[in-house]
Structure 1
């Protein structure tokens, strides 16, 4: 796994190796990341964005955003294997100044005491409704700026819950990517 474009282009990320069978890590493939970031570039949401990477896994999506001009990224990951890989990648890419790893469950976050985020990546374990729970938590906890773009990866297309509008949906093999915008009342 490597960074596809931007200032870290071609830099390898920490090897997943055998990983932890219980971790269920399935990093977004290079092909899907390339297509996804092409779409995000078209929507002009990466440059100077504050990025929240929920269910971050290896952190590949957040690091790709940093490489392409995001201001900062906050990784939320509760699995030990994922936490270890993200910490290795922060050190490997030397992004300590603009990366933060929170070792929490994305479905049980406390309210955010800092500035809200402009771009959110959500890649929860498929088919367990964890994305819906995490989205409700961040929407009610000051994690989302007005008009935040949410990138949600799942095994099926996701419906826009109340307070969100579907912007786009794409299918890449067994991965469905749904783009949502929060539309707070």
Structure 2
């Protein structure tokens, strides 16, 4: 696992083996960030990374000069690892929360340019994520909600669905609120 762009490009991440995670593969992450490079200016973005796990995605956004990256995971060891990596690599823009994602979303009031969610693939509540985000109005106009999920899963019937991209067993579904 490595950072593929920005000021930390090439940095290898070696999280402990005991973390309860299934990290986004480098191939899928590279494809995702190639898409995002064509859609976004990373500098100044406010990003919410849900089910952050190793913090791989949070660190990628921070490496590319996002202004603020909020990472949420319920596993304490994941949060400790990400806090340690953020401190080690001088990434003060990464803010971590140890919390259940759905409970966090019920209380969150900030809005974000990008919300990325990489829930466990066996989580039956994956289809509830778009509603949880849009009901709370957590996405800024022209912002993106990106949900990583198993490629066989279909989220196209969820609110504000835009498109789905498949990379092997992994899929990214994109949701957005268009500006007027």
TM-score, length basis structure 2: 0.87
Cα distance in 2 for partners of 1:182, 1:128 equals 25
Cα distance in 2 for partners of 1:160, 1:87 equals 36
Q: 1:161 aligns with which of 137, 158, 162?
A: 158
Residue 95 of structure 1 deviates from its aligned partner by 1.0
Give the secondary-structure state (helix, strand or coil) at the position aligned to 1:90.
helix
- Taking only aligned residues, the RMSD between alpha carbons, in angstroms, comes to 2.1
Equivalent residue runs for 1:14-163 within 5 Å:
15-20=14-19, 23=20, 25-96=21-92, 98-109=93-104, 110-114=106-110, 116-155=111-150, 156-162=153-159
1:157–1:177 Cα contact (<8 Å) kept: no
Give the secondary-structure state (helix, strand or coil) at the position aligned to 1:33.
helix
Task: String of CA shifts for 1:6-49, please: whole Å, max 9, x gaps.
Answer: 11111233x223214xx2x0111111111110000111253321
Gap regions ≥5 residues in structure 1: none
Give the secondary-structure state (helix, strand or coil) at the position aligned to 2:86.
helix
Give the secondary-structure state (helix, strand or coil) at the position aligned to 2:81.
helix
Gap regions ≥5 residues in structure 2: none
1:160–1:180 Cα contact (<8 Å) kept: no
1:51–1:73 Cα contact (<8 Å) kept: yes
Cα distance in 1 for partners of 2:125, 2:94 equals 24
Give the secondary-structure state (helix, strand or coil) at the position aligned to 1:94.
coil
TM-score, length basis structure 1: 0.85
Q: 1:63 to 1:79 in 2, by over 3 A?
A: same
